[in-house]
Amino acid sequence: MLTEERHRYIKAALRQQGVVKAKDLMQALTASESTIRRDLQDLEEQGALRRIHGGAERLADAAVEPSVREKATRDLIEKQRIAKAAAAMIPNHATIFLDAGTSTGQMIPLLVGKDITVVTTGVDNASQLADYQVATRMLPGTVKPATKALIGATTAHAMAACHFDLAFLGTNGVHLKYGLTTPDEEEAAIKRVAIERATQTVVLADPSKFGQVSFAKFGDLADATILTTALGQLAQYYEDQPTIKEVTN
């Protein structure tokens, strides 16, 4: 098989799976270990992947933040299952922080009837919470147009005066080495304050976020309970991470 054909196969496998093992590529492509190693090195130099122990992982775009509308249509079933598990963690009389975003937004219909108070930095989330008549407090700050999230020093200062029983956050990346990341450093700063001010933090992350790295880190994997659905082949890389919980229902 020609080098270009192997490269196309590897990139297609990464798009579908997120992570590939060198030994699986050797078998599928009938190639030697040295050939696969060279292919992965070439593709890494081209910016097509990141090499990891025993294989390679897909790269995310670290600089571009998808819009709320784009995010809302991605992996919807997984997000709904994760949101159901997250909402079930909330006790009555709790004060929770709800991050801006589509993953946390899926929790909102499930909060109806709960005796709780929700603090949020999400403009869209605040509107939906009001529609569902959930007790809501919206923090002040500057609105980021792409994600409809409140950011900036005013928001961070207001949050620092709060205490949350639970904080529910979204993320763009979950990575063993680089932790929890998001494209915008100002949003990352708000997420860090939420983690600091919460008794417990829960990150909602569908499987497409695993192995991904964005620009700004806001926490380590140990800083939160990370809810996801079945990780498939990715599970082997995270099996020794006790904070990652796969939703089964």
What are the pLDDT digits (tens) for 12-61? 888 777 889 999 999 999 999 999 999 999 888 877 788 888 999 887 65
Q: Running DSSP on this structure, what letter comes out for residue 60?
A: P
Neighbours of 12 (CB within 10 A): 11
What is the rounded distance in angstroms from the CA atom of residue 236 to the CA atom of residue 221?
16
Collapse the DSSP code of 126 into the 3-class scheme (helix H, G, I; strand E, B; otherwise coil) and give the result: helix
Cβ-contact 149, 100 below 8 angstroms: yes
pLDDT tens digits for range 63-105? 444 545 554 445 788 999 999 999 999 999 999 999 998 999 9
Which positions ≥6 away from 15 have C-beta within 8 Å?
A: 58
Which positions ≥6 away from 51 have C-beta within 8 Å?
A: 40, 41, 44
Domains annotated on the chain, with CATH: 3-58 (1.10.10.10), 68-246 (3.40.50.1360)
Q: Please tell me whether the overall predicted TM-score, pTM, comes out greater than 0.85 for this model.
A: no
Neighbours of 233 (CB within 10 A): 15
